[in-house]
Chains A and B, each alone.
Chain A
Amino acid sequence: MIDKLVASPAAALADVPDGATVLIGGFGNAGMPAALIDALIAQGARDLTIVNNNAGNADSGLAALIAAKRVRRILCSFPRQTDSWHFDRAWRAGQLELELVPQGTLAERIRAGGAGIGAFYTPTAFGTRLAEGKETRRIGSRDYVLEYPIRGDYALIRADRADRWGNLTYRKTARNFAPIMAQAARCTVAQVRETVALGEIDPEHVVTPGIFVQRVVRMDA
Chain B
Amino acid sequence: MRKLDRKQIAARVARDIPEGAVVNLGIGLPTLVAGQIPPGREVVIHSENGVLGLGPRPAPGSEDEDLIDAGKNPATVLPGASYFHHADSFAMIRGGHIDICVLGAFQVSVAGDIANWHTGEADAIPAVGGAMDLAAGAKQVFVTMEHLTKQGESKIVQRCTYPLTGLRCVTRIYTDLAVIDVRPEGLQLVEIVAEGLAFEELQRLTGVPLRLRAAA
Mark A residues whose CB is within 8 Å of B: 27-31, 53, 77-80, 84, 87-88, 91-92, 98, 100-108, 110-111, 122-130, 170-180, 207
The reply to whether A108 and B68 contact each other, CB–CB distance below 8 Å, is no
The reply to whether B125 and A88 contact each other, CB–CB distance below 8 Å, is yes
A contact residues around B87 at 8 Å (CB): 107-108, 110-111, 179-180
* With known contacts A30-B68, A79-B126, A176–B137 Cβ distance under 8 A: no
- Judge whether B107 is part of the interface by a CB distance below 8 angstroms: no
User: What total of chain B residues lie within 8 Å of the partner, measured CB to CB?
Assistant: 40
The reply to whether B67 and A30 contact each other, CB–CB distance below 8 Å, is yes
* With known contacts A127-B167, A128-B164, A102–B85 Cβ distance under 8 A: no
Please classify the interface of chain B as helix (H, G, I), strand (E, B), loop, or mixed, using the class held by over half of its residues.
loop
The reply to whether A27 and B125 contact each other, CB–CB distance below 8 Å, is no
The reply to whether B66 and A108 contact each other, CB–CB distance below 8 Å, is no
Selected interface stretch from B14-22, B32-40, B45-53, B199-207: B45-53
- Judge whether B65 is part of the interface by a CB distance below 8 angstroms: yes
The reply to whether B136 and A124 contact each other, CB–CB distance below 8 Å, is yes
Q: A180 vs B89: C-alpha distance in the bound complex, in angstroms?
A: 12
CB closest chain-A residue, reference B118: A129
A–B Cβ pairs within 8 angstroms, 7 of them: A100-B126, A102-B130, A103-B128, A110-B87, A130-B132, A173-B66, A176-B49
CB closest chain-A residue, reference B48: A103
The 6 residue pairs across chains A and B that have the minimum distance between CB atoms: A104-B90, A104-B133, A80-B127, A107-B86, A28-B72, A111-B87
Mark B residues whose CB is within 8 Å of A: 47-51, 64-68, 72, 75, 77, 83-87, 89-90, 93-94, 118, 123, 125-133, 136-137, 163-167
Q: A53 vs B133: C-alpha distance in the bound complex, in angstroms?
A: 14
The reply to whether A172 and B64 contact each other, CB–CB distance below 8 Å, is yes
Q: Pick from B68, B86, B125 the residue with the most CB of A within 10 Å.
A: B86
The reply to whether B89 and A128 contact each other, CB–CB distance below 8 Å, is no
B contact residues around A123 at 8 Å (CB): 94, 136-137
B contact residues around A129 at 8 Å (CB): 118, 163-164
CB closest chain-B residue, reference A115: B87
Residue in contact with A105 in the complex, picked from B72, B75, B133, B163, CB distance below 8 Å: B133
Residue in contact with B125 in the complex, picked from A30, A80, A174, CB distance below 8 Å: A80
Residue in contact with A104 in the complex, picked from B64, B93, B167, CB distance below 8 Å: B93
The reply to whether B127 and A175 contact each other, CB–CB distance below 8 Å, is no
The reply to whether B167 and A178 contact each other, CB–CB distance below 8 Å, is no
Q: A172 vs B90: C-alpha distance in the bound complex, in angstroms?
A: 17
The reply to whether A27 and B68 contact each other, CB–CB distance below 8 Å, is yes
The reply to whether A173 and B126 contact each other, CB–CB distance below 8 Å, is no
Q: Pick from A84, A105, A126, A172 the residue with the most CB of B within 10 Å.
A: A172
* With known contacts A100-B126, A103-B128, A128–B165 Cβ distance under 8 A: yes
Residue in contact with B85 in the complex, picked from A91, A92, A130, A177, CB distance below 8 Å: A177
